[in-house]
Amino acid sequence: MTAPNDIDRATGRRLREVRLALGLGMEEVKAGVAWQQIWKYENGKNRVSVGRLYELAKFYRVPVSTLLPEEEAGTYLRPYDRETLTVFKLLAGLSEFERGAIIKTVKAMAGAGSR
């Protein structure tokens, strides 16, 4: 097995940032892995497979690119901050109708701001 490298450690730090921004403890992550393994990923002790990264992104309800270090995700992607992740979490708890109403409102606000 190959030892974790700088990108693996940076990915682990990013996993931790996202988990904390969502207000979750390691024990609350239900992505087919024990909290001890989450600790190892976040602390750069173990590498995260692509499949596991996908499962974590699905659980956190964020794009996989959010879990990659900023320089690896590409400069065209805006890194998510705590407020954005909080909005994602809150939206996930709403009904489809409520999310649609909020999206419509935000689009209207964004259009008004660009004039």
Looking at residue 79, its pLDDT comes to: 52
pLDDT tens column, 13-68: 999 999 998 889 999 999 999 999 999 999 999 999 999 999 999 999 888 988 88
Looking at residue 75, its pLDDT comes to: 43
pLDDT tens column, 63-112: 898 888 876 554 444 555 677 777 877 888 888 899 889 989 988 998 87
Task: Tell me: pLDDT of 12 over 80.
Answer: yes
Radius of gyration of the chain, Cα coordinates, nearest whole angstrom: 16
Supply the pTM of this predicted model. Answer: 0.64
Looking at residue 72, its pLDDT comes to: 53
Looking at residue 43, its pLDDT comes to: 94
Looking at residue 99, its pLDDT comes to: 87
| DSSP characters over the chain | -PPP-HHHHHHHHHHHHHHHHTT--GGG--SSS-HHHHHHHHTTSSPPPHHHHHHHHHHHTS-GGGGS-HHHH-TTSPPP-HHHHHHHHHHHTS-HHHHHHHHHHHHHHHHHHT-
Looking at residue 71, its pLDDT comes to: 63
CATH domain 6-113 topology: 434 Repressor (Amino-terminal Domain) (1.10.260)
Domain locations along the chain: 6-113
